[in-house]
Structure 1
């Protein structure tokens, strides 16, 4: 079951639209893969360079030590040669002696000089033979191999005579391989012979036995491009001797290590020129064999990297699953809400991170949604009730109008003009309040409703109510205003302003234009109001007070309607002085009248 769930989760990750868990998994995997490959690559490259540097350092140090060891031996041999060529009694006199072979004198001379030579080479195992060869045919030696007068006239003697004013070095091949160090013997400014010391070749092999790899090659060449030494077991793919000579001339023993491809095979070539002998040492290290261990290490690193990557992938899978588990829970809850289920069992997400914060915000949104839906349900219920009430209210005004018309006709028949006037004004006022469904009326219509209201309320007072109208421009009467905003203001002016005066009360309605605004001012010369009373009228208390009047709409109600409709600075403002006057300013944006075909008046 676990494997099945893992496979299904993996299928989701590789879908076109990856989940967050899949993205985290892929991101972790890519970062881990790049990191592992980068580290492995850097380590491998550095290790290759380190192996090459170590090989070059090791070979260079070994060659230097070999040259130093050979130099020490050659210096010792040079000192022996110097002792021989400067010994007059034993060496020079014996060479110049007239004694013939197979004579007693010759035998004694030979015994004496051989004992002298033997004493020089005792305890020096790196010397295989020391010989004194006179140009007159006398030959004396100590060690192996045997030597006789047949050596005279050979290239070896000629080379020593040409180059042996100090020391001459050359390699001898044949039955015995050796390095010969020769020097001419001079007497009376003439060459009378040579002294030759043969260096044991086994010591040369041990000294230059430098092989960092099994197939490495080391060559020692003299000044004449002759091979003084070459490694044993030269591999079959070794470069030919002419190529080695070319490398020696090309590098000139500068002591540098270079990478060169010889016959299609890459090598590290290390060269060194001996200041003492003038010999050049060349070491050729095949790169493929040198880096065999690095190849094994590279394969091991790849295996380890693969294992580490698998561990990281498994770890990233677990980490991404733990990171996104709360997101999946939140998604499941959102899907339930999408399906309309607002009573789902809440899964508490206790984390304090962004997901936890989203969970609490989501729960708050669900609670708010439930509250709003409950409000909508209640509103719909109230709407249905209001529609029923409106239907009932639509029927009642007809009976009221008919009843008022009946009262008006009866008053006319009975000669009661005041009752006829009141009932007619009440009909017109109620027709505007209940019968006109338009939200906006013209200023002219608003003034008509005010006149109807004054015709009704004047019979309440003993003195007639003086209502004056001042119209700045007749064209302003066609401007549109909110329905029933002027009548409540005039009502307040009459009841609370001049109603308490015994006589002389008057209300003035002034209509004027101000820039792009329409301003209606209602002025009364009543008792006035204090600031506290004006503040109370413009707050909720004033609203409760206003709603108890005839119109059912107060000053605050008119102000709030205008403020909601038009915004600042439109609305109602109060100006008053106690005992003198009260002025109400109503400010509208100027709107021209546009008659509607669907306007209905009951």
Structure 2
């Protein structure tokens, strides 16, 4: 009974089902106990990071707007006429002063009205003495002495050309209710530090209201803008302006940062940053309740989700377990059939997942195994066929008949010396063919065979063939397969030089390249057409166990394939063969043999 239970529990389907059950149970328990904690920590970190990003974005938007507003105040610098008038203002007559003030008014009205500036309220231009030179409206203004003594005027002059941003309530009388902040700058001739004008522009809170609407703040959050004196310029909730008190300001002593603080009995996240351009601070207050509020439903949602996930996963584990084990059992049966000797059977699994890829690789492996088993015998047979074909090609009937005809013709028409030379060369060739059954010879022995062969062909073709030999020193003893060069040279004679008008050249070269030796047989004969050359190359690309290797009486590409087949069988990857030709430009055949390493 125990063995049956153990056998049943050891099945893949049962193991998967129990594994899913245990994993799901542990996962649900883990998720239920840690989800709230992890969610709270993650949300807090994200909110803290987001809070700092929000105040930085507000700072960036505010600084961009402030730079644009500064540029509006610089309008007099665009014309030297205004700078000259500032220098001469004290010496002008009443009429000239009136015209200068009128030009200033027109200049700034045009500057502020050409491109409407959000939140713009008014501008005013004051002379060195505090005298009001120009204004965009008729609102009351302080006396020249009050202007000179005001904090904003003093700070603007002290900055000597640098823009000054300040709370509308800083210095002088209280601004109108619609005023929120002001921008001022001193304009003068750089060579005249005494005479100058101060341009001031007042703005309402539309800029900050627009920034707050685009900042994606929560309902209870608040952002506050403080000037460089820590005076409040703007608050998104005017009823809670007292939140930024001394205790918070003392903790905001860096360029930017964030911290948790108790504000009015409620814990809030305070994020702040200080503008490098205006020295103003942007402070964001985010209540903790807004952060953890959405997490309160996580417990309930986690519980219901866990129950649903448990039931669904339990059902899916049964279905998935069956879909996984069924193809595995099929693979198991296939392997058993192959074990009994049936190598033709293949796994029939049409899937794109890992099991399908395993089945595809298994079928591919079986194809390669079957091909290797068959080719082991096929290659042995083809090797014997290649060797026999090489023996058959040693005495080509076409070559033998032509040679004998030439000998007979020479006996009738020529002297005995040439007949003797041809007969001697032919005898050397026959001795080379039959002297030994060794398959491996040296390059020097092959070259001697080529010399004998070409002596006969030169007599036949009456010196039509020119033979050039270039062999690198040390390669004469390089091992080659017997009858490597003769079929290639014969191919060059009959298919290249014989059909060419006039004299032709055969070049035979042997040289080293890195750790390999290259042998070239080239001719400048009639060449091969592209179609015929592609047919020859296609035959060389065919597997060796396809087609016959026997030499036909006409020679040609079959002799080339015979040489290629013997080297491919015996040398494998250490052998490369190429044939290049162009119609009317000759043919070049290269054999590249990699030398064996001495290790």
Which bracket does the TM-score occupy, shorter chain normalised?
Answer: 0.3 to 0.5
* Structure with higher RCO (Cα < 8 A, 6+ apart): 2
Task: State the TM-score, normalizing by the size of structure 1.
Answer: 0.41
Between structure 1 and structure 2, the one with the greater Rg is 1
